[in-house]
Structure 1
C-alpha cells in the first residue's frame, strides 16, 4: 500500500475522538508529511500505533509522539532542541513544523546518533543537527531555544536545559519518578522556571547519564560497584574463609 495512504490513515486515527492525540492542524499536516517508514524498518508496522525497541531505547508510538508535539507547539522559525533523539522521528516532525535548519537533537548513545542522522537524511531532513551528548547538558553553543523537548523522564527539569531556553521559551518533559506527568515548563526571572501545564500521565524511561547507555558493559552502576566490592573482598579472604574449597576432598 502507498505509504502516504498509511500515513493519512494513521493521523486520521490519532485525530479520532477515541484518541484525540492530534488536535492542531499544524501537527496533523506535519505528521502526514513525514515518511515514518524511514525511521522504522517494517513499512506497515511503521504506521501501527505501537512502540518499538531499537539499540536499547524505545521508538515512540505515533500517539505518544503526537502528545509531545501538541504540548511543544513549535512554530515556523522556532529554534528547537530534542533531547533523546532516538531514531530521529520526533525531530523530523519538529523539522516539518519549525524548519529543518532550526532543529537540533542530542542523544547519549552514539549508535542512535548515527541512526538518527541516517534516517533524517533519508527522510529529507538532513539539515537537522544531531550530536552525541548527555541530555541534561543540552546543546548550549546553539542556545537559546524557543522549544526544548525531553524524551526521557526526570524528577525535576534539568537546570542547564532551563537556562538554555529563550525568555519566552517552553520546555516539555515527562516529570516524576514512579508516577510521571507530561509537563510544560517556562523560564522565570525569579524562581528559574514554573510549571504552566500538565498534559496527562506518561511512562518514559529515566534520563541516562554517561556510563548508563545500553552500550556500556553494565548500565546499573550500583549493581556493578557492589559486584566489584564483593570480588575484591573475596580476594582478601584466607583459605578457610573461601566457600568454594571442598575441604573433604582436600583431606
Structure 2
C-alpha cells in the first residue's frame, strides 16, 4: 500500500472519536504530509499507532506525538524549539505548519542529532536547525521562542527554557515526580495540566547513553574526581524526574 494512503489511514484513526487526539485541521494536515517511514525503519509499521525504538531512543507513537502537537498549538508565524528531538518526527510535523527555518531542535545525544538531520532532510525539511546541546540549557542563540516543546520529563520546568520564551509563549512538557502529567506553562506563569504520560527523564551532559569518556592520565583522574564530587549530578537536579526511569 502506498505510504500516502497509510498516512491518511493513520490520521483518520487519530481523528476518530475513539481516539480523538488530532482535533485541529492544521495538525491533521501536517501529519498527513510528513513521511513517517523516513523516521521509523519499519515500513508499514511506521504508520501503526505504536512506539518504536530507533537509535537507542523511543520514538513516540502517532497518538503520543499528536497530543504534544495539539498542545503546542503553533501558528505559521511562530518560532519553535524542540528539546529532545530524537529522530526528528515531531520537528518535521511542526515544520509543515511553520516555516522550517523557524523550527530549531536540540538533543544531548550526538548520534540522534545526526539521525534527525538525515531524517528531516529525507522528509524535505533540511532547513530545520538541529544541534547537539544540553536540553536544560535550551538554545539561547535563537531565542526567544513562541513555543518550546520538551520531549523528556522534568520535575520542574528548566529555568533556562522559561527564560527563552517570548511574551505570550508556551512551554509544553511532561512534568511530575512519579506520576507525570502533560503540562503547558505560559510565559506569564499560568499552568495547565492535560492528562498523564510516561516519558524518559531529561538528561544532562555525561548521562546520555552513547557518552564516550576518553582515556585520562592519573592526574586528570584526580582532578575529574574532585570536580565530580563538587558538581550536581542529574538526579540531584529537582527539575528532572528520575522516578519514571
TM-score for the superposition, normalised by structure 1: 0.83
4+ residue runs over 2 A deviation: none
Structure 2 match to 1:87: 87
Mapping of residues 1-251 of structure 1, within 5 Å: 1-188=1-188, 193-195=189-191, 197-216=192-211
In the alignment, the residues of structure 1 paired with residue 166 and residue 185 of structure 2 have an alpha-carbon distance, to the nearest angstrom, of 12
Where 1:17 maps in the other structure, the secondary structure is coil
Unaligned regions of 5+ residues in structure 2, if any?
A: 214-224, 226-245
Question: 1:170: Cα distance to partner?
Answer: 0.6
- Give the match's secondary structure for 1:183: strand
Question: Separation in 2 of the partners of 1:43 and 1:117?
Answer: 20
Q: How far did residue 147 of structure 1 move?
A: 0.4
Contact preservation (8 Å) 2:88, 2:119: yes
Equivalent residue number for residue 238 of structure 2: none
Q: Equivalent residue of 2:19, what SS? A: coil
Separation (CA, whole Å) in 2 of partners of 1:194 and 1:212: 31
3-state SS of paired residue (2:209): coil
After superposition, what is the alpha-carbon deviation per residue over 1:85-131, rounded to whole angstroms, capped at 9, x for unaligned? 10000000000111211100000000000000000000000000000
Structure 1: give runs of 5+ residues left out of the alignment: 219-228, 230-251
CA distance in 1, matches of 2:124, 2:43: 17
1:34-67 Cα offsets, whole Å, 9 max, x none, are 0101101122011011111123211000000000
Between the aligned partners of 1:180 and 1:101, the Cα distance in structure 2 is 32
Which protein has the larger Cα radius of gyration, Structure 1 or Structure 2? 1
**CA deviation vs aligned residue, 1:149-179 (integer Å, no higher than 9, x gap):** 0000000011000000001101000000210
Inter-partner Cα distance in structure 2 for 1:101 and 1:65: 21
Equivalent-residue separation in structure 2 for 1:47 and 1:116 (angstroms): 18
How far off its partner does 1:217 sit?
A: 6.2
Alpha-carbon RMSD across the aligned residues, in angstroms, is: 1.3
Q: What displacement does 1:198 show? A: 1.3
- Give the aligned length: 214
Checking the alignment, whether the CA contact within 8 Å between 2:40 and 2:54 is kept in structure 1 is: no
Would you say the 8 A contact 1:55–1:214 is kept in 2? Answer: no
8 Å contact 1:7–1:47 — kept in the other structure? Answer: yes
